[in-house]
Amino acid sequence: MPSDCPARPIDAQAIKVACSNCNLRELCMPVGLSPEELERVDGVVAARIKVKRGSRLFRSGEPFKALFAIRTGFFKTCVAAADGRDQVTGFQMAGEIIGLDGIVSDRHACDAVALEDAEVCVMPFERIGELAREVGALQHHVHRIMSREIVREHGVMLLLGGMRADERLAAFLLNLMQRLHARGFSRSELVLRMTREEIGSYLGLKLETVSRTFSKFAGDGVIEVRQRHLRILDPAALHRIVDQQPGHR
């Protein structure tokens, strides 16, 4: 299933894969399941796959067979227009689900590229469907995950549609920080997994604009930038930048 050679399956049983034991459970799985239900839901994970940095978990156009839950690592998803345009549609980290775009046409509609060595749980969509029919909480959970993605994209549209460069980047950083913090990382330090160009693609900006805006933030004492290492010195300032009135359409 994976597009590139570096991805290789791991026998699920062998490594005792079990959502019920997974420390990402609260992020991936529905809460409030009974022990029996929990055990059954464990069964949706058919395998675990390693994906090397730079390789693709799936590509646009490939047959869609499964959703993927990220266990470790960091991904970007991007769509390519016919004319070669390329747009990063999101960055995904541990506990997040990718592949939802493939359901509608039974083919993936974007590429998922690992930005660092990663490991994902393969959840065959057929199996999810069967189990969701029996476990109501799982059914609702699947709906919630898809709805969440829709709402997330609304937020991106707000960003792309009406914000200026500094507002976009501030919103992006706050979002990243929030998600990282929810996973136990520092509230003030982070290492970017993506290039300036990828950030720019996601935010609808050129890489130079991203770089300049980082420099501006650094000059204002809001953040500290050393290549991909960032330190947030003044989170409140970032919030003020996002909420500033100018630059909306």
Under the rule (CB under 7 A), what is the footprint of DNA? 164-166, 192, 195-197, 204-212, 214-215, 225-228, 246-247, 249
- Alpha-carbon gap, residue 73 to 231, rounded angstroms: 21
Which residue number, 9 or 161, has a Cβ lying nearer to a copy of itself? Answer: 161
Which of the residues 72 through 91 are near a copy of itself (CB under 8 A)?
79, 81-87, 89
> Is position 181 an interface residue for a copy of itself (rule: CB under 8 A)?
no
> Is position 54 an interface residue for a copy of itself (rule: CB under 8 A)?
no
Residue 167 CB, nearest distance to a copy of itself (Å)?
10
In this structure, the strands spanning 86-93 and 189-191 are unpaired
Tokens of 174: 């706050």
What does 151 bind: a copy of itself, DNA, none (CB cut-off 5 to 8 Å by kind)? a copy of itself
- Alpha-carbon gap, residue 249 to 246, rounded angstroms: 9
Beta bridge partners of 9: 49
> Is position 187 an interface residue for a copy of itself (rule: CB under 8 A)?
no
**Per-residue burial over 89-125, b = 16 or more CB atoms within 10 Å of its CB, e = otherwise:** bbbbbbbbbbbbbbeeeeebbbbbbbbbebbbbbbbb
Residue 74 CB, nearest distance to a copy of itself (Å)?
19
- Alpha-carbon gap, residue 231 to 114, rounded angstroms: 24
Q: Which residues bind a copy of itself (CB under 8 A)?
A: 79, 81-87, 89, 100-105, 109-110, 129, 132-134, 136, 139-140, 142-151, 153-158, 160-163, 200-206, 243-245, 248-249
